[in-house]
Structure 1
């Protein structure tokens, strides 16, 4: 058996390390695009500029919002960019995202030998988003307001990979934001209809 020299050994180790790095970096990275509402008909307000306010926090117990590769709150903040148009008057709109929570809680799973052969639902994910749209006059006095909230939940099985879990939460997030859009539009038509240009 031929022994490798020190230099030969270094070459083999370096080659193995490079191969390992290449394998790690070539793994597909999931891309989660922002949810958009550009395909929907815009709501045109007789108003001027739109101010956006990020008024949510991710400090609740069990929050996993900051661990995800996408942001429910940031995507919710994009809503007026896609859905609202203004036909400049001295009035203004203020849009605030007041809640954008993604909470994870552990579920009971089967223990012991039986648990090895059982694919339990191991986590419950609860998502909630809330937003407020205000119409203000030139002096900042409120002329009208709507508030909307949407909530969804889903469970994740213990056999799911990290990427499968992220995809499942993203799908629930996208559905949740569409729920928010429908509720905002319903509230606007019911309560701010007099300020809309048809």
Structure 2
């Protein structure tokens, strides 16, 4: 089942990031090797994707970029305005307008070349970046870094609001944050800093 969301953050050096689907504490992990080729993932970019289980984690796959043209569109775009097409159209015009048409054709070619160069340059740069990252395994260090990013993004939404029991928490990260930052909580009976450790939900 397809889901929709937007990129919340992306670590270009490590090649992973998180997609926000509009639910607090529910950001979805993605890796660059599962991302469409082209422009580097942008924060706030809208995506369509599917979710799969990867070991003890879930991640996004079959990602579709909704804010950018696909790789096929990038390379087809200059062909729409190619010189043969312009010449065919010019056959239907009056010969007296051939000089203005020639000027327009030249300008159009320059514009198409500029558009092609812009997209092709970005594509090549990101293809090299993707190849480098695709050769890297999603190892334990990457997963630890991803977890640290996830916890960091989750805690930005937490605040002390009077809740003190495990049953009132929405996630393990939230429970740990409340124990460390909010007074009067009753979620860490042995005071070891590990909140709700017997809660079967986590």
- TM bin, normalised by shorter chain, reads under 0.3
Structure 1-normalised TM-score? 0.25
> Greater RCO between the two (CA within 8 Å, min separation 6)?
1
Q: Which structure is higher in strand share?
A: 1
Q: Which structure is higher in helix share?
A: 2
